[in-house]
Amino acid sequence: MVDALPDSPTASALIDSAAALLSLMDRDYLAIAQALDKPTFVADSLFWMRDRIPHPFLAATCYWVQNFFGVKERLADLPIAPSLVGPIVPPTAPRQDRQRSGIVVHLGGCDSPLSAIDADSGYLDFIVDGLAESVLRSCFPGPMVVMAGRRCADALRSRYRGNNIEFVSVSPDRAAVLLDSAMAVLTAPGLTASLECFQLQQPAFFLPPQNYSQWWILNKLRAHGLAPGAFHWENCLAGSPVTERMAESERVPLLRSLIGGLSRDAQARRSFVAALDGYAACDRDALAATQRDFFESLGANGLNAIVADLARFTACLGDGNGAEAASR
């Protein structure tokens, strides 16, 4: 792991010394590699919600797009179609013999040092206070574990001492184990975490969105019966000012203001607690089956497809045909 900003000599030197660059939706390093005529590869899990497709993505040697609602329709509008792949998650089969207990709450971030706690703790307090008020703890006996980024987990652990809630920052592998072993999982509606639960056939209940992509992911999931009873900030708005494919410059300040205000609203808190209480009565087996069926409808595992394409490129490097092979 190398800490190097895109405009640093270190970044340029590393990219120049590489055979190719793989971008997980980052544009800055991608542009450097393309200026150096390096083969570039892009994996995009948010293609479906972009207001515009960045030119460096379309100019990549290979551009993989994760399937989701609306993706196939939008692909038809592009002059050069990217490679459509299924869920970009580590392939994992649900265990039949698992022993489950307690509740896992996934706020996102895993072992990242970054989190929204630095800017505004209102959302986090909204979630944790709502969990403390709901009947979920009595309905799913066992520990309540809240997973978040490192600084977020540290801050919550300090502020909520004595609440019998464990706040942890863990690796993705450990997070998968915790998700699979819980009686109930509540997750922020990020696409990767949601798909991981669907793959595990672990019924996922949803927290309100933290950002623009989660706003629309939860809307799509609710509209297709994959998030029954989930509380969304839109529940508290007479008319939502958040529209699809908003420019980033508009949506970031708008969402920050909306979520910051609603997370301190008493009626929103009551509605959230009511949604949590409703999760306790949900048919979890039926929900798990519905979510798993949706996961399988997205196609074969996208991570496997990406690895296979990269392996083909690597195998052809010796004869000088790597980029050509990958583009096929």
Q: pLDDT per residue over 277-319, tens digit each?
A: 999 999 999 999 999 999 999 999 999 999 999 999 888 876 6
Total domain count for the chain?
2
Q: What proportions of the chain, in percent to the nearest 5, are helix, strand and coil?
A: 50, 10, 40
pLDDT tens by residue, 214-244: 999 999 999 999 999 999 999 999 888 999 8
Residue 92 lies in a domain: no
Q: Tell me, yes or no, whether 199 and 277 share the same domain.
A: yes
Q: Tell me, yes or no, whether 19 and 139 share the same domain.
A: no
Q: Tell me, yes or no, whether 123 and 260 share the same domain.
A: yes
pLDDT of residue 247: 84
Q: Tell me, yes or no, whether 48 and 125 share the same domain.
A: no
pLDDT tens by residue, 249-272: 899 899 989 999 999 999 999 999
Residue 95 lies in a domain: no
Residue 3 lies in a domain: no
Give ∠ CA 109-25-39 in degrees, rounded to 5.
Answer: 135
Q: Cβ–Cβ contacts within 10 Å for residue 124, how many?
A: 22
What number is the average pLDDT over the span 24-29? 93
Query: What is the percentage of the chain residues whose pLDDT exceeds 70?
Result: 93
Q: How far is CA 173 from the centre of its chain?
A: 15
DSSP letter for 106, please.
Answer: E
CATH assignment at residue 266: 3.40.50.2000
161 Rama class: left (phi>0) / alpha (psi -120 to 50) / beta: beta
The most confident of 52-61, 69-78, 227-236, by mean pLDDT: 227-236
List Cα–Cα distances, 39 to 2, 11, 174, 293, in angstroms: 21, 16, 33, 36
Residue 149 lies in a domain: yes
Tell me the average pLDDT of the chain. 89
Confidence of residue 76 (pLDDT cuts 50, 70, 90): confident
Pairing, β 103-106 against β 184-187: parallel
Q: Tell me, yes or no, whether 204 and 269 share the same domain.
A: yes
Q: Tell me, yes or no, whether 63 and 136 share the same domain.
A: no
Whether the Cβ atoms of residue 171 and residue 150 lie closer than 8 Å to each other: no
Q: Which residues contact 142 (CB under 8 A, 6 or more apart)?
A: 101, 102, 103, 182, 183
| pLDDT over 60 (residue 153) | yes
Residue 93 lies in a domain: no
65 Rama class: left (phi>0) / alpha (psi -120 to 50) / beta: beta
Q: Tell me, yes or no, whether 290 and 306 share the same domain.
A: no
Range of the domain at 65: 9-87+299-327
The most confident of 160-169, 174-183, 297-306, by mean pLDDT: 297-306
DSSP letter for 43, please.
Answer: E
What number is the average pLDDT over the span 11-23? 96
Q: Tell me, yes or no, whether 116 and 198 share the same domain.
A: yes
Q: Tell me, yes or no, whether 83 and 115 share the same domain.
A: no
Residue 216 lies in a domain: yes
Residue of 275, 201, 278 lying closest to 236 (CA atoms): 275
Residue 133 lies in a domain: yes
pLDDT of residue 319: 63
Q: Tell me, yes or no, whether 50 and 159 share the same domain.
A: no
Q: Tell me, yes or no, whether 274 and 319 share the same domain.
A: no
Q: How far is CA 37 from the centre of its chain?
A: 31
CA gap 132, 134 in Å, rounded: 6
More confident residue, 78 or 304: 304
pLDDT of residue 321: 62
List Cα–Cα distances, 125 to 128, 151, 157, in angstroms: 5, 15, 12
| pLDDT over 50 (residue 115) | no
Q: Tell me, yes or no, whether 278 and 130 share the same domain.
A: yes
Residue 57 lies in a domain: yes
Residue of 258, 76, 108 lying closest to 192 (CA atoms): 108
